[in-house]
Every structure is written in C-alpha cells, then in structure tokens.
Structure 1
Amino acid sequence: MTDQIDYAQLVSAIGDAIIISDAKGAITLWNPAAERMFGFTQAEAMGKSLDLIIPERLRGRHWEGYGKTMATGITRYGHDLLKVPAVDKDGKAMSIAFTVALLKDDAGAITGIVAVIRDETVRFQEERALKKRLVELENQVKEQA
C-alpha cells in the first residue's frame, strides 16, 4: 500500500476554487471549481492577470498588498479569512472569502501565491438582509417607546 497523494486529482476534485498566481500576479493554476465560480475556463484564465476577478475599483489596493507580500514574504491571510468583493466573467458582483499561502522555490524565494476561495455571495446577501431587518425592528421599538 502506498501513501502517494495525487495532488492534481486533489486540486481538480476539491469544491473550493484554487488559484495560483506567480510573483507578478499572472494565473498559473485555475481549477475546475474556479471555472464554476468565476465562469472563465482554464484556457481563458491561464497566464492572465488576477484583474480577471478583481473589481476595477479595488485593483490599486490589491496590487499594493500583493507587491508588499511578494517583497516581504509576509501575509496575514494565511490564517485569517479575507472577505472581499470579486467579479465573474459576466461582470456580476460576488462576495468571496479566502486564505492564501506563499509558494517558494528551493532557495526560499517566493515564486507565487495560492488562494483557496469560497463563494460567499448568498451568505453575504442573507447577512446583509438580516442586519437591515434588525435595524428596522430596533427603529420600531424606539418609535413605540
């Protein structure tokens, strides 16, 4: 019995999107879950910038943080869940949550970053609706007091 893990099969089978980008932000891995989530095929995504899924208004902030992470080798999102807006192939707004891990070569130099991403759009919308309803109810109570 062998304990070999077929990592390509794992990446293809997992339900969360897995995206790897190189040190400059070009996509080097795009799994089937990323295809389902964002609508871009692997062929459409490979070699392209992460701008593919980053809303235009957030790109400056994203690339500032990305550059800093590549330069310092430090990210807090390896453990902390990052929740941000994203866009799909049709330009539709999404809410995603993800963690990242830095990838390094044998010499320890950063070669890229892997993100494990989950679509949180429905949950985000439900949470926003609940918060709105709570405010409405609190206002009703204040008016009755």
Structure 2
Amino acid sequence: MAASGGDIPIPSQSRQGTPGLFARSLRNSYRHPEMRQALRVFGMDQHAIIIANADGVIQLWSAGAVSLFGHDAANAVGRKLDLVIPQEFRDLHWKGFGHAMKMAAVNGEGAFFDIPGLCNGEVRTLRGQLHVLRDEGKAAIGAMAIFTPKGA
C-alpha cells in the first residue's frame, strides 16, 4: 500500500499486483484535499470505515475498523469481506453485494441500518451506512461501509 494523502492508506495495486482501475480511482480521489478532509471529518479513527473493490476484497481498513472488528489493517486489506460477515449471513450478503455491483446502487444508500458484524469473533449488531463507489461512467467499482457499534 502506498500512502498518498497523509496518513490514509491507499492501495497501490490490484490483487493481481498490477495497478487496477479501483486502486487508481481510489488513489486519485485521495489527491483531492476535500476528500482527505472529509475522511478526517468522518472520523477515520472513530468510525469503522471499510472500502472494498467490486469483488468484495478489502482495499481500505480504517483505524476505527481495527478497534471495532479486532483485525489490523495488514491482516484485513486484501481479504474478502467475509472477515467481518457472520457465517449465517454470508450467502445473503454476497447475493446483495453482487446485485449492488451489477446495478451500481444499493437500496437505502447512505441511510443507517442495523447490520450484523463479526467483531473479535463475536456477532454484534452495528449501525452502518452502505455506499456504492462508482467510476466516471457511473459503473460500480466497489463499496464503502461506515460502522459504529449500536448505541454508540
């Protein structure tokens, strides 16, 4: 991972080791001061922010995600989202994720939902927002989730 944009980790290569569209788009977005400031305001440390590519591979894992889910970024980045999805919800998750990537949309995008998460090996209810990330042509290139423990 390369760091361009302060202390925010930016993926520099795709899973195959070559610069991919998702990595380039994500890296380019961090070059904009407004994006870096927005993530600081969002609270990279206070909120668990996870960004995954269209294959569901984690590309960004915030300090808040380390605290909430119990995995450091080195362990999380490059792994599938199954890392945080309880086993009994994985089939439903991947069906919905695939649909969101195909349609470049998710129902209730940006609204808060109660979402089950796997935190330190324990299933917990989290408050979360889901967002589809799109390229310039409006095609889905990934997803971002922002989580807080329910009641926080």
TMscore range, shorter length: 0.7 to 0.9
Farther off after superposition, 108-117 or 5-14: 5-14
Greater share of helix:
1
CA distance in 1, matches of 2:144, 2:101: 12
Picking from 97, 108, 125, the partner of 1:95 is 125
Deviation at 1:36, TM superposition (A): 0.4
Aligned partners of 2:35 and 2:103: how far apart in 1?
31
Name segments (4+ residues, structure 1) moved above 2 Å.
Answer: 11-14
Q: How many residues are paired up?
A: 119
TM-score, scaled to structure 2 = 0.70
Q: CA deviation at 1:112?
A: 0.4
1:53 alignment counterpart: 84
- Structure 2 residue runs of 5 or longer lacking an equivalent are 1-32
Report what 1:129 is aligned to.
none
Separation in 1, partners of 2:102, 2:57: 16
Match of 1:24, SS state, is coil
Match of 2:140 among 104, 110, 113: 110
RMSD: 2.3
2:55 equivalent to 1:7? no
**Over residues 42-85 of structure 1, what are the superposed CA-to-partner deviations in whole Å (9 max), with x where a residue is unaligned?**
00000101100111010000000000111112212313322122
Out of 46, 58, 65, the residue aligned to residue 34 of structure 1 is: 65
Mark the runs of 5 or more structure 1 residues left unpaired by the alignment: 125-145
Percent identical across equivalent pairs?
28
2:6 matched to which residue of 1?
A: none
How far apart, CA to CA, are the structure 1 residues paired with 2:93 and 2:140?
A: 18
Shift of 1:95: 1.0
Whole-Å Cα distance in 2 between the matches of residues 55 and 6 of structure 1? 31
How far apart are 1:12 and its partner, in Å?
A: 6.3
Larger radius of gyration: 1
Q: TM-score, normalised by structure 1?
A: 0.73
- Return the offset for 1:38: 0.5
Between the aligned partners of 2:101 and 2:126, the Cα distance in structure 1 is: 22
Which region of structure 1 is more displaced relative to structure 2, 95-104 or 78-87?
A: 78-87
Matched, 1:74 2:105: yes
